[in-house]
Amino acid sequence: MTTRSDAIARAAAHFDEGGFAETLARLVAMPTESQNPACAAALEAYLTDAMRPAFEALGFEVAIVRDPAAPAPFLIARRREGADLPTVLGYGHGDTVRGQDERWAAGLSPWTLVERDGAYWGRGTADNKGQHAIDMAALAAVIETRGRLGFNATFLVEMGEETGSPGLREIARTHAADLAADLLVASDGPRLSKDRPTLFLGSRGGYPIDFVVEAREGAHHSGNFGGLLANPAIELAHALASLTGPTGSIRIPEWTPGAVPDAVRRALADIVPEQQPGGPALDPWWGEPGLSPAERVFAWSSFEILAMHAGVPEAPVNAIPGRAWARGQLRFPVGVDPDGVIPALRRHLDAHGFERVAVSRAREEVFPATRTDPDHPAVAFCAQSLARTAGAPPAILPNLGGSLPNDVFADLLGMPTVWVPHSYPGCSQHAPNEHLPTSIAREGLMLMAGLYWDLGEPGARERIRGTA
């Protein structure tokens, strides 16, 4: 008789015998930069040449689907084992940010997997090729051990997440019946820390904002006109400074949730963000007063200035610039209305005398905030499974501090969402030298094999729905 332990051992053996590294090397070798139009063929090949045969080998029916708004196709893989069984939806994205080839350390390349210093190095190892490869290998371990999953499985792979997931929402609407599920279990983003398995239940929203002061055409000599012409850079600096206090607390009430829900506060009670190896030292004095560090990043809003420009920064001249620009970003949790972000900002600026500062949404895509209730029975089910495998309870984050297209699953498709990340904050995601620690990869395979095994046990559907 096969057991849960057998499936976990099979998943670990897949890692120990080199199978996982072999798969990840093939995936990393595909230059799937969605921000690079020259990589269109590679984006499609990732689905047709890598994902389709892998899912078909696991007994999934695979469809490649398209939407006019998306520059790349999507893959929907489905395995049906019984109408009375729970259905679990998985998700991953095979696209990456640009490789930045010339900036990697000696001996490393974005498109060649290298194992050294206890990690796999290469673009996509952490975001997101390595993560969905772990989930797929864990599905295989359960099927090979049990002879079946014990639940119905659907998996969605997109190739445009790094450009804002164009077309994803349209695909979800068009194929809602195919993607319907009792629960999303997916992997992206980082763990709380390298050594602690983590669940997160949604993501903060992300709203990019452009600020512009157009004072006049061209620059003018600062000696001849200093004191006579308004400086747009100074105007903009004062306007931006009015948005937060000196330690980053937000001064626009509509940009914050107003309060931290009790269930969220309880979930974060044992969460302590700490400096990660190779990461920056944290600033405990920064952020909203009266909140714990965990609440500041996982339960509250933050506003950042990402870039500023006025004049000619690389070669300053003695001239008053005619224009100043800045890109800001609001990260916000559930409880903030994204449609109210710009109107509230406009009211604030006008009330403080900054009528000349023009503001607009910086791009078409805005990630809404989502959060499954930490008290949802599906959360308890998944947390108990991970604790059983790891021997200690996982960290439970009500939502990721960053942004993901989780609204597609939580709001549009209407299911509880549980993410099990297989990365860590120091992975150099989106930067040179991206890597996935081998310890996280191996443990991730075991955690997911245990979770998938438990989802296939009798009564799982009732337990994740809370009707048991």
**CA 333 to CA 250: how far, in whole Å?**
14
Mean pLDDT of 72-99: 97
Residues 228 and 301 in one domain: yes
Residues 290 and 415 in one domain: no
**CA 336 to CA 253: how far, in whole Å?**
10
Please give the pLDDT value at position 155.
98
DSSP-derived 3-state class of residue 88: strand
Q: What stretch of H or E contains 198?
A: strand 198-200
Strand-pair category, 202-203 with 152-158: unpaired
pLDDT digits (tens, 9 = 90+) for 146-159: 999 999 999 999 99
| List of residues 6+ apart from 203 with CB closer than 8 A | 189, 367, 369, 370, 399, 400, 402, 403, 404, 406
Residues 317 and 433 in one domain: no
Token digits for 363? 């791009």
Residues 20 and 82 in one domain: yes
Mean pLDDT of 392-411: 94
Contact 61, 78 (CB under 8 A): yes
Token digits for 83? 């109408």
Token digits for 288? 């909203």
**CA 21 to CA 114: how far, in whole Å?**
9
Token digits for 377? 């029975």
Contact 356, 235 (CB under 8 A): yes
Residues 290 and 198 in one domain: no
**CA 445 to CA 455: how far, in whole Å?**
15
Residues 219 and 189 in one domain: no
Residues 211 and 197 in one domain: no
**CA 46 to CA 26: how far, in whole Å?**
10
Count of residues in the chain: 468
pLDDT digits (tens, 9 = 90+) for 38-70: 999 999 999 999 999 999 999 999 999 999 989
Domain of 48 in residue numbering reads as: 4-203+369-465
**CA 85 to CA 318: how far, in whole Å?**
72
CATH code of 258's domain: 3.30.70.360
Domain finish residue from 361, 388, 407: 361
pLDDT digits (tens, 9 = 90+) for 342-385: 999 999 999 999 999 999 999 767 889 999 999 999 999 999 99
**CA 23 to CA 43: how far, in whole Å?**
17
pLDDT digits (tens, 9 = 90+) for 210-267: 999 999 999 999 999 999 999 999 999 999 999 999 999 999 999 999 999 999 999 9
pTM of the model: 0.91
Give me the number of domains the chain comprises: 2
Residues 182 and 320 in one domain: no
Write the DSSP symbol of residue 29.
T
Contact 125, 24 (CB under 8 A): yes
Residues 80 and 193 in one domain: yes
Residues 151 and 163 in one domain: yes
Token digits for 127? 């975001």
CATH code of 68's domain: 3.40.630.10
- Tokens 């009211």 label which residue? 347
Among left, alpha and beta (phi > 0; psi -120 to 50; other), residue 26 is alpha
